[in-house]
Each structure stands twice: as structure tokens, then as C-alpha cells.
């Protein structure tokens, strides 16, 4: 089950554009070292580090240490609270949902 607090956390965490951009890069690139995320970010290394902590605390990313690098990847369950919550509003976005469904079915 998903708690209100978890949902709030996920929403707050994704609401910041800089942090969301970090998340999106991780999602796109599969597994990324923090250094690489700092490169190509507008903000400083500590800022990125803080965002990564927030993403991890929200359950949105997981980390794997390899030597002195830490690789981040998206945590599959992280978006769960958001998905679940949206489930309650099916009726309101049914049309868009159907588009999404097509996408998922791989009908190009």
C-alpha cells in the first residue's frame, strides 16, 4: 500500500525541474555515475549530490557503488505511488490513457 506521505514525497521530489532533469537523465542513460551527471548540469556538484539524495530518499533511484564511482539507476517501484494515485482518476483521463495503452502495446 502507498501512504499519503510517500506520494507527497514523490510529488515534491519530482516537482523541482533541476532534480527532475537529473532523474530524466538517469532514466534515459540507464546507469550513470554521479560525476557524469554533474558534467552537463547547470548546478554545482553538491547541488547534484543533494538532488540524488532526495531522489533516493523518495525511492525514485537506486545506487550501486563501483570503486570510487556511484552509479545511479531508476528504481522501478519509485513511481508506484504516483501511478496508484492516478488510478483513482481514471475517468478523468481515460482518453489519454487509451493513447498510452496503444504505446504500451507497441503499436508504434
Site for DNA, rule CB under 7 A = 12, 15-16, 18-19, 33-36, 38, 42-47, 49-54, 63, 65, 67-70
- Nearest distance, CB of residue 68 and a second copy, angstroms: 28
> Smallest distance from the beta carbon of 33 to a second copy, in angstroms?
20
According to DSSP, residue 59 is labeled T
Q: Which helix (H) or strand (E) holds 58?
A: none
72's grid cell = 545511479
CB 8 within 8 A of CB 81: no
Q: What is the chain's Cα-based Rg?
A: 16
Q: Is the dihedral of CA 30, 80, 42, 67 positive or negative?
A: negative
Q: Which of 42, 65, 68, 96 binds a second copy (CB under 8 A)?
A: 96
Q: What binding mask, one character per residue, do residues 18-47 give for a second copy by CB under 8 A, x or -?
A: --x---x--x--------------------
Output the smallest distance, CB 37 to a second copy, in A.
18
CB atoms within 10 A of CB 32: 19
Neighbouring-strand partners of residue 32:
72
The contact set with a second copy (CB under 8 A) reads 4, 7-8, 11-12, 14-17, 20, 24, 27, 74, 76, 78-80, 82-84, 86-90, 92-94, 96-97, 99-101, 103-104
Amino acid at each position: 500500500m502507498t501512504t499519503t506521505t510517500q506520494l507527497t514525497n514523490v510529488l515534491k521530489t519530482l516537482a523541482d525541474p533541476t532534480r527532475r532533469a537529473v532523474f530524466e537523465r538517469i532514466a534515459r542513460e540507464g546507469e550513470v555515475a554521479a560525476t557524469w551527471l554533474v558534467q552537463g548540469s547547470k548546478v554545482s556538484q553538491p547541488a547534484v549530490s543533494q538532488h540524488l539524495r532526495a531522489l533516493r530518499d523518495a525511492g525514485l533511484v537506486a545506487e550501486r557503488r563501483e570503486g570510487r564511482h556511484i552509479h545511479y539507476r531508476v528504481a522501478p517501484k519509485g513511481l508506484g505511488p504516483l501511478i496508484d494515485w492516478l488510478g483513482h482518476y481514471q475517468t478523468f483521463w481515460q482518453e489519454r490513457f487509451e493513447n498510452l495503452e496503444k504505446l504500451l502495446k507497441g503499436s508504434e
